[in-house]
Amino acid sequence: MPVGAQGAYEPVSPKQVPAPGVDPYFPAHGDARYRVHRYELALDYRPGPNRLAGSARLSAVAGGEALREFALDLAEFRIGRVLVDGKAVHYTHRAGKLRIRPAKPLPAGAAFTVEVHYSGNPRPVRSQWGGLGWEELTDGALVASQPVGAPSWYPCNDRPADKATYQVSITTPSPYTVVVGGRLLTRTTHSSSTTWVYEQAAPTSSYLVTVSIGQYRSVLLTEADPASGRVPQRAYLPARLLPEFTHDFGRQTLMLPFFEGLFGTYPFGEYAVVVADEELDVPVEAQGVATFGTNHLDGARTSERLVAHELAHQWFGNSVSIADWRHIWLNEGFAKYAEWLWSEHAGGRTAAEHAAVAHTLLAGLPQDMRLADPGRKLMFDDRLYERGGLTVHALRCELGDEAFFRMVRDWAAIHRHGVVDTAGFTAHAGQYATGSLDGFFDAWLQDPALPPLPGPRADGSAGSGGGRLSRAGRWWSGSGS
């Protein structure tokens, strides 16, 4: 889908969004019998009592068979009413599923709308990784939904492949700032409340829709520049943390053009970072936004690799999204490798040195994870991140730098705002190789045993002494400054 310099997207028609299949890791989530192409959320949130109320309007398309009923994922809110094409319908709501039965079956391929009015006290969805989704903070709230926390705050077809556009309107007390991924359309104050309306025009997976609400200061890091295609970057954080933030995130504005040189044009119309006024175990990326905790600021750039990691996810995971969670290495492997590339560019360890450290680490850990399908239990295991990055580096060694970076840029461009899987990636990469990559991918993706540490090609490429990344982020070979 084309994107202009200002991130102006072509309208998404239902036919442009592929119908999702059943996610084997979360078979109870989502409904493969239809797909959503737009969400319109109009919500009111009161931070004190943690009270959320509002409506969600979904524009959807039935699949290949008539829909006698269908389901949305939604946590235990009080349901006011449910409408399909403007008419009240019968529904049941239990165990996180809102099951809806239209008065008449919806024909195969028919477009329809669903409107759900609901209210309650949002809380995280329970999981083996802790609470997911809407989290009440000491003063405000945030959303961190990966992988299945989106139903904690809005009704959705909760699977990564069912991407849709969003308009999100949230009304809060006026002292609070509301941040949602996408472009801020309007901010309107009435008495003591302010309504913030955001538009995310790029297709977005349900788990990648985020909200941050807090008493934050807004900082413009870079302005939009139509001539160069530069997108605006903003930060939202507690005012007292501005000195530390200024140093710790001081090079983020350099990262974005660096990654554009490697991966292609930034895929969205804007980028924002939020520093929530609480400590967070890990930062969380969402579409067009990354959320960090106060513990990620120390005035010494200790967490700069995470700044690079979350930014890289805008290409790998957010624009180019996985069809289901078996393929999570495609998200995390490239984001991890982006950390290494930035480190080398910024004067730290080279990518090859990071790869050697990761290989030594993995060699001392259990060899019981298959990267291409790690299983639900291991999908967020640290080994997946390290081996994912190492696999990307090994592929770079296998292809050589010119072919590798051309392959990566083409992958991000061809599948911009689309859905991918491991088989598609291996087929794509094979087009840039001089021979078969079947044995390579079997060893790195399918075999749990760790292959040997990759070395440079005979031509000396792959960051092992024969070339360096230029300051613009583009590969060039030979010597020089």
451, two tokens = 């292959």
Confidence of residue 227 (pLDDT cuts 50, 70, 90): confident
Does the pLDDT at position 252 exceed 90?
Answer: yes
Other beta carbons within 10 Å of 144 = 25
Confidence of residue 11 (pLDDT cuts 50, 70, 90): very low
- Answer whether 216's CB lies under 8 Å from 237's CB: yes
Read out DSSP for 360-380?
HHHHTS-----TTS--GGGTT
Weakest-pLDDT range from 97-101, 281-285, 430-434, 452-456? 452-456
Domains 216-314 and 324-477 share a fold: yes
Confidence of residue 241 (pLDDT cuts 50, 70, 90): very high
Does the pLDDT at position 475 exceed 50?
Answer: no
- Answer whether 463's CB lies under 8 Å from 470's CB: no
For residue 462, the model assigns a pLDDT of 52
Does the pLDDT at position 477 exceed 90?
Answer: no
Residues 68-78 have pLDDT tens digits of 999 999 999 99
Please work out, in degrees rounded to the nearest 5, the angle formed at the alpha carbon of residue 331 by the alpha carbons of 363 and 412: 125
For residue 123, the model assigns a pLDDT of 97
Does the pLDDT at position 349 exceed 70?
Answer: yes
311, two tokens = 């930014």
For residue 474, the model assigns a pLDDT of 40
CA pair distance 351, 340, nearest whole angstrom: 5
Weakest-pLDDT range from 209-218, 244-253, 319-328, 452-461? 452-461
Confidence of residue 88 (pLDDT cuts 50, 70, 90): very high
For the chain, give the percent of residues with pLDDT over 90.
88
Domain extent listing, the chain: 21-122+149-211, 216-314, 324-477
Q: Does domain 216-314 have CATH number 3.40.50.300?
A: no
For residue 459, the model assigns a pLDDT of 53
Residues 145-182 have pLDDT tens digits of 999 999 999 999 999 999 999 999 999 999 999 999 99
Phi-psi region for residue 11, left (φ > 0), alpha (ψ -120 to 50) or beta?
beta
Confidence of residue 120 (pLDDT cuts 50, 70, 90): very high
For residue 5, the model assigns a pLDDT of 29
The letter for the amino acid at 275 is V
SS3 439: helix
Place of tokens 């599923």: 97
The number of C-alpha atoms within 13 Å of 464 and in the hemisphere containing its C-beta is 19
| 359-367, Cβ contacts within 8 angstroms, sequence gap of 24 or more | 359/390, 359/450, 359/453, 361/386, 362/386, 362/387, 362/390, 362/450, 363/450, 367/448, 367/449, 367/450
For residue 343, the model assigns a pLDDT of 98
Does the pLDDT at position 397 exceed 80?
Answer: yes
Side-by-side strand order, sheet with 177-180: 133-137, 140-144, 211-214, 177-180
Does the pLDDT at position 12 exceed 50?
Answer: no
Place of tokens 């001081």: 250
Confidence of residue 416 (pLDDT cuts 50, 70, 90): very high
Q: Does domain 324-477 have CATH number 2.60.40.10?
A: no
Side-by-side strand order, sheet with 193-204: 87-88, 78-84, 111-120, 51-62, 34-46, 164-173, 193-204, 183-190
Average pLDDT for the chain = 91
Weakest-pLDDT range from 9-23, 68-82, 438-452? 9-23
Mean pLDDT of 365-381: 97
Q: Nearest 5°: phi and psi at 57?
A: -115, 120
- Answer whether 276's CB lies under 8 Å from 142's CB: yes
Does the pLDDT at position 3 exceed 70?
Answer: no
For the chain, give the percent of residues with pLDDT over 70.
90
Q: Is the peptide bond before 47 cis (omega within 30 degrees of 0)?
A: no
Residues 27-71 have pLDDT tens digits of 999 999 999 999 999 999 999 999 999 999 999 999 999 999 999
Superfamily for domain range 21-122+149-211: tricorn interacting facor f3 domain (2.60.40.1730)
**b/e 4-26 (16+ beta carbons within 10 angstroms → b):** eeebebeebebeebeebeebebb
For residue 461, the model assigns a pLDDT of 55
Judged on CB neighbours under 10 Å (0-12, 13-18, 19+), 131 is middle
Mean pLDDT of 317-342: 98
CA pair distance 334, 317, nearest whole angstrom: 9
Higher model confidence: residue 462 or residue 381? 381
